[in-house]
Each structure stands twice: as structure tokens, then as C-alpha cells.
Amino acid sequence: MSELIENRRSIRKFKADKPVTKEQINSLLKAAMLAPSACNTRPWEFIAITKRETLDEIVRIHPYAGMCKTASAAVIVVAIPQEKDLPQGYFPQDCGAATENILLEAVSLGLGACWCGIYPKEERIAPFRESFNIHEPRIPFCVIAIGVPDEAPESRGFFEEAKITYIE
């Protein structure tokens, strides 16, 4: 697992002629649905896209998802916020955990991925609602571009001991 974490990068250039199979997409979504969530509310749904015109539509409506031009697939994580009873307000954390599981499973399948944020930017939420028929109370949370990597960027993450308070 630590190798997967170390090897994960945001990939923004993909081999456009290499498809992502439905089996691979289902492995990614299985990983997503194994994520922890507050009180096991699992406040998520997923839109799995491999259609070229729809991937191009994402490039059009998201200002920083240009990598979908070469991606062979994308997953939109759709949040379903808890409206009544506890626990309310945890859906960004729950959907974030599901998203990270997709990114790590992608590495394990030899794929690359890039998390592109939608929520909480209203100017990004609105066009995704319209293009993908996502109605209240559902919220488009993020879109993940997926494909076979055509770049190998350097790691941008690093260990910073100064960020840790040890209580021993």
C-alpha cells in the first residue's frame, strides 16, 4: 500500500488510444465504495464516462480539466448530503475518501488519474448540474480523469516533520 501511495501522481497526459475497460472502472468504483464514511452513510453516487463527446464536454465546462482531452474515462463523484438526523456535514470528507481510493486503485491497475475539484465552487457545480442532470439534494463533488499515463511527473508530496506535533 505504501508503494501505491508513493507512486500516485496527478496525471494530466494520457495515451488517448488506450481504452479503460468497464472491468477496470468497476474495480475503481469498488475501491471507492469501500471507503469509510460517517456512520456508514455512504453519501455518494458515481457517473462513469467513456464516451468521447462527453469527455470533451467536461473539458468545455471545467476550467482545469483539460486532461480529459486525452483521458479515456472519467468518473464524476456525486455527493448526497445527509439532510436529516446525524451525521450532517460530513459528505465532503466521505466523498474525498472515496475519491482518494479511486486514485490509489488506479495506480494498482497501471492507470493514471487526476482529481479535478468541483464542490464547493458554485461556478463549476452549475454547469455539471446542467450537463449531467444532477438535481438537489445531489451535488457534483469532483471529476476524476482516468487513462493510461503518457507522462511520469515527479512526486510533489513530501514528508514535513515540522507539520507534526508529537505527544509522547
Ligand X SMILES: Cc1cc2nc3c(=O)[nH]c(=O)nc-3n(C[C@H](O)[C@H](O)[C@H](O)COP(=O)(O)O)c2cc1C
Residues that bind ligand X (CB under 6 A): 9-10, 12, 64-65, 114-117, 156-157
- Residue 16 CB, shortest distance to ligand X, in Å, is 17
Our CB check for ligand X shows the closer of 90 and 115 to be 115
- Residue 167 CB, shortest distance to ligand X, in Å, is 28
Nearest residue relative to ligand X (C-beta): 117
- Residue 57 CB, shortest distance to ligand X, in Å, is 16
Our CB check for ligand X shows the closer of 36 and 165 to be 36
Q: Cβ neighbours of residue 19 under 8 Å, at least 6 residues apart?
A: 50, 72
Our CB check for ligand X shows the closer of 39 and 151 to be 151
Number of neighbours of residue 111 by Cβ within 10 angstroms: 25
CB contact at 8 A, 79 and 40: no
- Residue 119 CB, shortest distance to ligand X, in Å, is 9
Exposure string for 151-163, b = 16+ CB within 10 A, e = fewer: eeeeeeeeeeeee
Cell numbers 473539458 correspond to 59
